[in-house]
Every structure is written in structure tokens, then in C-alpha cells.
């Protein structure tokens, strides 16, 4: 009895509430909780695998065991994808999210709620080079998309909850909620408005609290007390910004080059064996290139560069001065190479952690180099490392505000806010001049599939020409008479008639407005042929044409209708009026107001 009463009265109210705009705060909290939970689960799993591999190495008494890890990780990842995930590779993380937002209108595959976690745990946990941020973000975004899909089937809600998931995941990983929100704005392209700010805050804080409950005071990045900023060192930070800009461009080019080089290999098996062997050999030489490398970053804050090799080759050689700098630069260039090879071979990993690793290492080398040149400490090591992290993140991700705020939050204050801001701003601007798009957005931008904060461009990206084509136009033949067309004109709701040959190729168009004078002259019904009064179209579109080019073609021709074809065969017409109405609808749908 009670069950029927609840079902009759409460169920409809809950159904209305879950679809209302007021419920978005509750769904943001739920998204934040799951995002935090997934991030904690992934970090715990990878930490356990790392401990197991290093423990096995100590038990066996040889670092060569670590060298086998990357190969086993790639093989295990391929096995899981083929046999457990039905061949569904999670993809590159953040670019997969951005692609789903622009091409699938925020509908992310449900399998992504867990597949990035499993595969990245194997790829990175067993020694592959890369970060866990992107897989964690991808899994969280899939959860946000699914919650949006189940509660209110609108693009606006899915987009906002994906942004909440991204912010929450990063907040849980770094315990930096403000930087996480800005990441959602800068990278995931969420509009920061009055309607989106509170859900983003709630999701980020919920994930942070979730991470605190399960991880306690453990932090990915632990910084010591750093020296305060001195104005006399300002030129050194400006120069570090330029160094980070060059480093960011080199990082991006090397990463993409290594990834593409592996992808060009003939078979997946060859890619895995080559990449696994190279990454494993590098790990034997530099054990701290194993996995993410945050232990090294934390050690660099205190000036402990020997953590890069532990008890292996570099420690035995004990390099000093410029030899030490050379070894550190070798480790620096190896990181993007190994990350690119891991991803290119089918591993699941991100570039966030490698960018932080290389930024910290570059800042350390910069401080060490100044000391070698001038014979005294010109820039405190910890300060240079923090500024290097900010500069490298800003240049690689093209997200300067995220870099600045992340550096401020992980360092526990804003004592170095000014130098980090300068370094990040210079690095970002210089890197953007040399490389227009980041690693996350380059391929999407080249295909015209990237959503940006440019509303006009974003709306046109969301619009698809096949959705706007009118397919129901009556077709006429070129050798029909005017009289043959009259019955078709009488039953048609359109004023345009395509003239096609037997193969479906468009020969011309009959416009009722242009044949009005002869249409009522019965004497011409049997005398005049269609090909005599048809006109050539002012332009022809291909069904795969991007919307920006479609709009440009309408502006060039000043036409109200344009024919569309696929592989040379006519499929229908697209009208300026319909495009305008769809444009307005998507403008409203994509505005988080």
C-alpha cells in the first residue's frame, strides 16, 4: 500500500524535479562524488602496482625487472581492450572528451566510465610513461554525460556536467579546486557564467572532500617552504618564461613525433614490442622515468636530483656541474619520447604529469645552470622548479590560468604568484605563436571539430549539414515537357525541383518563381522541354562540408537554397532559413545562462 502511494505521488514529483534546472546542483554534487571516487581508485591501484614492481625488483635484486614492466603493461592493455572491451580503445583522454562534445553533442560512451581506468592502470602502473589525469578525466566525464543523459536530455546539461566532472577529477587528484574549475573553462571550453559557476564549485569541492576522506593528507605534489619573491630576480623569471616556451614547443613536437613514429609501424604487435623495449631500457637507465614521476618532482623542490636514477647508472657515475646538467637534460628529452611511444603503441596515458615532470626538471636545470655560470645561487631551486611547472603547463596545455592557480594551490599560498604568473604568461604566449593549438586540440582543430569560446564558431561546429538537408524534393528529368511537370508541381510542397540524369547527377534546377510566366500557357505544355528552362545552380555543396564553408558559400552566392550532393550524386537542398533557425536553437542550447 505504502509502495503504491509513494509510486503514485512521489515518483512524478521526482521525475519533474530531476529534469528541472533547480536539480542541477544536486547532480553536480553527485558527479563530483563519483569523479573523486574514480580518481582515488585509479591512484590507489597504480600506487599498488608501483609498489609491487619496485618490491619485486628489490626482492630479485635487479632493476631489470622494472624494464620488463612497460612491455607487460602494453601487452596487458591490448589484451584487455581486445577481449574485455570488445576492441573499444578509450582513446587519448581529453581529445576524446572534446570530440564527443563537438561531434556527439556530449554523448560519451558508457564504456568509458571504467575502460580508461583499467587500461591506464595497466599502462602506467606497470611502468609506461604518462599521466593518470587524462584517463581519470575521461572516466569522470563519461559519468557526467550519463547523469545528464538520464536526468534531462539536453546538450546544455550534458556539457555542464562534463565540465563539472573534469573539474572534480582534477580537484581530487591535486587537491586544487580553483585551478580545476579554471581547467574546465580553459581546456574543456565550459563557459564560466553565473549559471555554471556554482555547479562547478560544488562538484570540485565534493571531489576534494571525497579525496580527503580516502587519501587523507597525501598530496601528489608536496612543496617545502619556498623563498619569497625578490624584485631583483625578476629578469631571471622573465628569461625562464622564454626557456619554458621553447621547452613547451619541443615537448609537444617530440611527443607528437614519437607517437606518430610508432603508429607508422605495420602491426600493433610490432608497436608494442618496439615501444615496450625502448621504454623499458630507458627505465633501467633512469628508474624514476617509470610511470608518472611525481616522486622526482617532489625531490627536485628540495634539490635532490639524484632521485632521477636512484641507485643506478647516474648515481654510480656521480656526475657534477655541466655533466649533471647534461644527464638531467637527457632525462628531460626522454620523458616526451617515452610518453609518445607509450600512447602510440596503444597505451592509455596522458600528458599532464609528463608536462609537470619536464617543467620541474627544466626549472631545476635552469637554476643549476645559472649557478654554474655565475658561481653562486642566482635563483632558489624550489622557486625555479615551481615557476618551471607553471611555465611548462601553460605552454604545453595552452592553459595559463590553470598553470598559475595550480602552482599557487600546490605550493600552499601566493608568495610566488607574481613570478609564476610572469613565467606562465610568457611561455603561453610565445608557445602559442609557434604552435597554434595544444596537443589536446591540434587534430580536432585541423578537422574543424573543435569547440571554442568563440560562440559563432562553436555553434557552427555543433551544426551538421546532413541534419539540415531537405531530402523530399520531387525530381524531374531533363527531357520531360512542361506538361509532364504540372502534376508534380501541384502535389509538391517545395518551389524547387532538381533536374537529374539517370545516374542521379544534378544537371540543373527548376525554380517556380522563374517559370511562373510560362507555367500557365497551355500552348507550351507539349512544346518546351525541362532542359530549356532549367537554370544552373549558383553553387553546389558536398554533404561532408563543414558549416563554416556552407555559410561562406551562401554569402558568396547570395542564394536562399543550395543543392547538396554526396560523391557526385544529388541528395537534397539546404535553405538559408532553416540554417538560421537551427543556428538560433544551438546558440540557446549551448549557452550556460
For residue 432, give the CATH number of its domain. Answer: 1.10.3080.10
Q: Which helix (H) or strand (E) holds 552?
A: helix 547-557
Same domain, 581 and 437: no
Compute the CA torsion angle 69, 70, 76, 78 (nearest 10 deg): -170
Query: What is the rounded CA–CA span in Å between residue 241 and residue 248?
Result: 10
Q: Which of 382, 405, 424 is nearest to 242 (CA)?
A: 424
- pLDDT score of 14: 64
In a domain, 290, yes or no: yes
Q: Which helix (H) or strand (E) holds 411?
A: none
Q: CA geometry: angle at 280 spanning 279 and 281, to 5°?
A: 90
CB atoms within 10 A of CB 56: 14
Out of 398, 416, 450, pick the residue that ends a domain.
450
Q: How far is CA 457 from the centre of its chain?
A: 18
Q: Which residues, 6+ apart, have CB-to-CB distance to 379 below 8 Å?
A: 233, 236, 237, 240, 366, 367, 370
Out of 431, 450, 469, pick the residue that ends a domain.
450
In a domain, 2, yes or no: no
The conformation of residue 558, written as its DSSP 8-state character, comes to T
Please say whether the beta carbons of 143 and 34 come within 8 A: yes
Out of 398, 424, 450, pick the residue that ends a domain.
450
Same domain, 91 and 128: yes
- pLDDT score of 195: 80
- pLDDT score of 265: 93
Q: What is the CATH number of the domain that holds 571?
A: 3.10.580.10
Residue entry with cell 630576480: 233
Same domain, 435 and 464: no
- pLDDT score of 312: 44
Same domain, 421 and 505: no
In a domain, 12, yes or no: no
Residues of the chain whose pLDDT is less than 70? Answer: 1-11, 14, 17-18, 62, 153, 305-319, 592-593
Expressed as residue numbers, the domain containing 484 is 459-589
**3-state secondary structure at position 108:** coil
Please say whether the beta carbons of 394 and 382 come within 8 A: no
- pLDDT score of 317: 52
The conformation of residue 266, written as its DSSP 8-state character, comes to S
In a domain, 220, yes or no: no
In a domain, 5, yes or no: no
In a domain, 501, yes or no: yes
Same domain, 160 and 249: no
Same domain, 184 and 245: no
Same domain, 288 and 412: yes
- Give the largest Cα separation in the chain, rounded: 103
Q: Which helix (H) or strand (E) holds 566?
A: strand 561-566
Tell me whether residue 445 is exposed, middle or buried, using C-beta atoms within 10 angstroms of its C-beta: 0 to 12, 13 to 18, 19 or more.
middle
Same domain, 238 and 198: no
Relative to beta strand 561-566, strand 569-575 is antiparallel
- pLDDT score of 306: 60
* pLDDT tens for each residue of 535-582: 999 899 999 999 999 999 999 998 999 999 999 899 999 999 999 999
Q: How far is CA 378 from the centre of its chain?
A: 38
- pLDDT score of 130: 93
Please say whether the beta carbons of 210 and 389 come within 8 A: no
Residue entry with cell 569541492: 205
- pLDDT score of 520: 79
In a domain, 11, yes or no: no
Same domain, 302 and 334: yes
Looking at the structure of the chain, the number of domains it has is 3
Question: Rounded to whole angstroms, what are the CA distances from 532 to 480, 482, 507?
Answer: 10, 10, 12
Q: Which of 381, 431, 425 is nearest to 403 (CA)?
A: 425
- The structure's pTM equals 0.87
Same domain, 211 and 237: no
In a domain, 490, yes or no: yes
- pLDDT score of 314: 47
> Strands, E, within 400-531: which ranges?
496-500, 506-511
Same domain, 183 and 237: no
Q: Which helix (H) or strand (E) holds 95?
A: helix 94-103
Q: Which of 50, 183, 118 is nearest to 348 (CA)?
A: 118
Phi, psi of 443 (to 5 degrees): -70, -40
Q: Which helix (H) or strand (E) holds 545?
A: none
Same domain, 360 and 480: no
β-sheet bridge partners, residue 506: 500
Amino acid at each position: 500500500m505504502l509502495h503504491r502511494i509513494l509510486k503514485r505521488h512521489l515518483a512524478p514529483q521526482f521525475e519533474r524535479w530531476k529534469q528541472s534546472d533547480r536539480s542541477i546542483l544536486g547532480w553536480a554534487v553527485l558527479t563530483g562524488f563519483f569523479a573523486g571516487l574514480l580518481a582515488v581508485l585509479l591512484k590507489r591501484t597504480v600506487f599498488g602496482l608501483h609498489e609491487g614492481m619496485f618490491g619485486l625488483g628489490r626482492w630479485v635484486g635487479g632493476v631489470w625487472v622494472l624494464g620488463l614492466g612497460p612491455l607487460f603493461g602494453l601487452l596487458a592493455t591490448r589484451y584487455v581492450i581486445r577481449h574485455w572491451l570488445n576492441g573499444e580503445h578509450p582513446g587519448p583522454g581529453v581529445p576524446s572528451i572534446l570530440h564527443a562534445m563537438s561531434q556527439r553533442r556530449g554523448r560519451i560512451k558508457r564504456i568509458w566510465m571504467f575502460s580508461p581506468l583499467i587500461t591506464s592502470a595497466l599502462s602506467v602502473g606497470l611502468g609506461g610513461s604518462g599521466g593518470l589525469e587524462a584517463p581519470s578525466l575521461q572516466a569522470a566525464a563519461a559519468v557526467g554525460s550519463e547523469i545528464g543523459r538520464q536526468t534531462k536530455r539536453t546538450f546544455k546539461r550534458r556539457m555542464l556536467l562534463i565540465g563539472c566532472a573534469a573539474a572534480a577529477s582534477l580537484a581530487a587528484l591535486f587537491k586544487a579546486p580553483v585551478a580545476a574549475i579554471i581547467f574546465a573553462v580553459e581546456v574543456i571550453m565550459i563557459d564560466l557564467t553565473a549559471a555554471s559557476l556554482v555547479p562547478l564549485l560544488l562538484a570540485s569541492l565534493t571531489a576534494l572532500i571525497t579525496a580527503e576522506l580516502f587519501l587523507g593528507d597525501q598530496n601528489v605534489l608536496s612543496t617545502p617552504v619556498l623563498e619569497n619573491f625578490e624584485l631583483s630576480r625578476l629578469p631571471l623569471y622573465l628569461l625562464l618564461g622564454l626557456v619554458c616556451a621553447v621547452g613547451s614547443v619541443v615537448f609537444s613536437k617530440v611527443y607528437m613525433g614519437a607517437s606518430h613514429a610508432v603508429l607508422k609501424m605495420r602491426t600493433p604487435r610490432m608497436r608494442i614490442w618496439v615501444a615496450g623495449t625502448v621504454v623499458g631500457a630507458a627505465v633501467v637507465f633512469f628508474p624514476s622515468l617509470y610511470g608518472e614521476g611525481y616522486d622526482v618532482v617532489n625531490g627536485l623542490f628540495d634539490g635532490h636530483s639524484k632521485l632521477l636514477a636512484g641507485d643506478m647508472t647516474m648515481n654510480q657515475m656521480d656526475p657534477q656541474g655541466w655533466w649533471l646538467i647534461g644527464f638531467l637534460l637527457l632525462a628531460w628529452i626522454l620523458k616526451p619520447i617515452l610518453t609518445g611511444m607509450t600512447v602510440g603503441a596503444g597505451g592509455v596515458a596522458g600528458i599532464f604529469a609528463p608536462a609537470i615532470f619536464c617543467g620541474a626538471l627544466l626549472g631545476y636545470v635552469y637554476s643549476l645552470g645559472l649557478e654554474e655560470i655565475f658561481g653562486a645561487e642566482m635563483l632558489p631551486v624550489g622557486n625555479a622548479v615551481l615557476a618551471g611547472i607553471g611555465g611548462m603547463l601553460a605552454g604545453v596545455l595552452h592553459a595559463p590560468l590553470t598553470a598559475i592557480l595550480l602552482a599557487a594551490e600546490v605550493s600552499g599560498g601566493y608568495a610566488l604568484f607574481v613570478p609564476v604568473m610572469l613565467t606562465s604568461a610568457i611561455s603561453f604566449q610565445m608557445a602559442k605563436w609557434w604552435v597554434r593549438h595544444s596537443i589536446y586540440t591540434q587534430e580536432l582543430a585541423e578537422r574543424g571539430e573543435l569547440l571554442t569560446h568563440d560562440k559563432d564558431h562553436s555553434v557552427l561546429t555543433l551544426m551538421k549539414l546532413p541534419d539540415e538537408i531537405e531530402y523530399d524534393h520531387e525530381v524531374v528529368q531533363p527531357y520531360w515537357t512542361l506538361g509532364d511537370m504540372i502534376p508534380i508541381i501541384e502535389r509538391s510542397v517545395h518551389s524547387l525541383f532538381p533536374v537529374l540524369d539517370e545516374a542521379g547527377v544534378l544537371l540543373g534546377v527548376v525554380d517556380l518563381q522563374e517559370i511562373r510566366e510560362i507555367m500557365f500557357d497551355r500552348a507550351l505544355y507539349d512544346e518546351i522541354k525541362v532542359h530549356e528552362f532549367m537554370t544552373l545552380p549558383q553553387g553546389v555543396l558536398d554533404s561532408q562540408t563543414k558549416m563554416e564553408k556552407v555559410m561562406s558559400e551562401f554569402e558568396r552566392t547570395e542564394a536562399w537554397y543550395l543543392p547538396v550532393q554526396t560523391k557526385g550524386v544529388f541528395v537534397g537542398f539546404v535553405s538559408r532559413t532553416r540554417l538560421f533557425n537551427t543556428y538560433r536553437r544551438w546558440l540557446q542550447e549551448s549557452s550556460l545562462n
